[in-house]
Amino acid sequence: MRSSLYEKDKGLISIKNELALVYDYIELEKMRFEERLQLKTNIDNNLINYKIPTLCIQLLVENAIKHGIDLKVGGGVVFLKVKKKDSKIYITVENPGVINQNKSVGLGLENLKKRLEIQYIGKASFSLTEIENTNVCAEIIIPMHIDDEKI
Amino acid sequence: MKRYKTIIIDDERLAREEVKRALEKHPEFEIIGEASHVDEAISLIEEIKPDILFLDIHMPGKSGFDLLEELTNVPDVVFTTAYDQYAVKAFEMNALDYLVKPLRDERFSKTIEKVKEELSKRVKIEPTTLPMHQKIFIKDGEKCHFIPLTDIHFIESLENYARLYFGSDKAMIKRSLNLLAEKLDPKVFFRVNRSQMININYIKEIHPYFNNKLQIILTTGEKVEVSSRQSVRFKNWNSL
């Protein structure tokens, strides 16, 4: 986990490495949440060498646990998807819960939006939506630039 | 050896294990129950009537503060939490102690000493009404209070709610005055009329009023009119 944190200076990280960090983090949180926390993934393996902003998936997963799983007595499933569509990468993290309307967007998501803006100059986007009042879905859409393919 | 009935409430099993492990060195604390969320804890507390709770604050669904609010008889409480931001609120509610996880043996032993000292002061009685030295927990909006009944000098009813006055503060609770009258010591809390009750220890002056009624002025300034019926009762009750 620490080794991955050092890479934050570079700004970008391969999806593969980011996922390794996320999985380590989930393992750690499972010690705390035990059967209350489950992770389901659907990752397009052709994408794992693409680079994305460091810790962006980590942030979404942390939020899913902190604002979703942690509030549910019975816990639930964090569903992480990395997909490609129309030469864009879709990273989605879904968790049980609802969006707290009283709370304005926190620092983490605010920073994420800024980083996406700086890195992709308006071509990337972030959204947070509620699904049928039971789940919350956070989604990052990143364009697949040629530049990003370099490892 | 005096043994204290102890309940540990924390949503994380490992955190409960940590408290258990820390308590192993203090056999006078008998762990008779564990709960992982507030609703589970409430039924457990009502069934077992523990002497002391080790209570987490941040839990899924309802918080440790919510738990105390829902209990009518609140045991002594040591909060255990990973955050220090709740400390002030916890002490406002007269928590015996506030432990920040992870627990350290040295610090925990101090807590235990404090708890033992407090618990040894408690006298075991099973009253129908709450003993006057008992502290009650009140949550009014965002504000929490944990105050001895002796501090309450005046109670007035507002439909389904009752407003309690204590010190220079007041708080609303969702209890009818009738229900409170059943719980409070009738020798201390006197129902002066349909909607008001006073703590007789705070009576400063009594004046005759029209229709054989009485008017009572409390040391805290409130003026109440005693209904004719209650005036008679008050006179009979307090005469030689």
ipTM of the prediction:
0.73
Residue B149: exposure state from Cβ atoms within 10 A (0-12, 13-18, ≥19): buried
Q: Give the gyration radius of chain B's Cα atoms.
A: 21
Contact A75, A33 (CB under 8 A): yes
- Burial of residue B59, with CB atoms counted within 10 A of its CB: 0-12 exposed, 13-18 middle, 19 or more buried: buried
Q: Would you state the structure tokens that stand for residue A118, as one six-digit string? A: 């700086």
Res A148: pLDDT: 47
Residue B61, chain A, CB below 8 Å: the answer is yes
Low-confidence ranges of chain A (pLDDT < 70): 1-10, 104, 145-151
Mind listing the pLDDT tens digit for each residue in A112-123?
999 999 999 989
Q: Is the pLDDT assigned to residue B202 strictly greater than 90?
A: yes
Q: Which residues of B touch A73 (CB under 8 A)?
A: 11, 36-37, 60-61
Q: What are the two backbone dihedrals, phi and then psi, of residue B218, each rounded to the nearest 5 degrees?
A: -90, 160
Instruction: Answer yes or no: do A32 and B61 touch at CB < 8 A.
Output: no
For chain A, count helices (H), then strands (E): 5, 7
What is the mean pLDDT of the segment spanning B228-239? Answer: 84
**What is the structure's pLDDT at B235?**
84
When pLDDT is averaged across residues B6-33 and rounded to a whole number, the result is 94
DSSP output for B181-225: HHHS-TTTEEEEETTEEEEGGGEEEEEE-GGG-EEEEETTS-EEE
Task: Kindly identify which residue of chain B lies nearest to residue A30, measuring between CA atoms.
Answer: B12
Q: A71 contacts in B (CB within 8 Å)?
A: 60-61
Rounded Cα distance between B22 and B54, Å, is 12
* Residue A37: Cβ-neighbour burial (10 angstroms; 0-12, 13-18, 19+): buried
Average pLDDT, chain B: 89
CA nearest A76: which of A22, A38, A23, A132? A38
- What Cα–Cα distance (Å) separates residue A58 from each residue in A53, A63, B43? 10, 9, 38
Other C-beta atoms closer than 10 Å to the C-beta of B142 total: 6
Instruction: Identify the CA nearest to A137 among candidates A87, A77, A71.
Output: A77
Percent of chain B with pLDDT over 70: 98
Beta strands in chain A (DSSP E): 12-14, 37-43, 51-53, 76-85, 88-96, 125-131, 135-143
pLDDT of residue B19: 96
Q: Where are the alpha helices (DSSP H) in chain B?
A: 13-23, 38-48, 64-70, 87-92, 105-121, 177-183, 228-237
Residue A33 touches partner B, C-beta closer than 8 Å = yes
Q: What is the pLDDT of residue B187?
A: 83
Per 3-state DSSP, what percentage of chain B is helix, strand, and coil (rounded to 5)?
30, 35, 35
* Cα nearest neighbour of A69 on chain B: B60
Report whether A103 contacts A64 (CB < 8 A): no
pLDDT number for residue A144: 87
pLDDT at B111 over 50: yes
What is the largest distance, in Å, between two alpha-carbon atoms of chain B?
68
What is the per-residue pLDDT for B240?
76
Chain B hits for A72, CB-CB cut-off 8 Å, are: 60-61
**B interface test, pick of A33, A73, A102 with most B CB neighbours within 10 Å:** A73
Question: What per-residue confidence (pLDDT) applies to B14?
Answer: 93
List CB contacts (< 8 A) between A75 and chain B.
Answer: 60
Q: Is the pLDDT of residue B34 over 90?
A: yes
Q: What is the pLDDT of residues B45-96, one digit of tens each?
A: 988 899 999 999 999 999 999 999 888 888 999 999 998 889 888 888 879 9
pLDDT tens readout for residues B142-198:
888 998 999 999 999 988 889 999 988 899 988 888 888 888 888 899 999 989 999
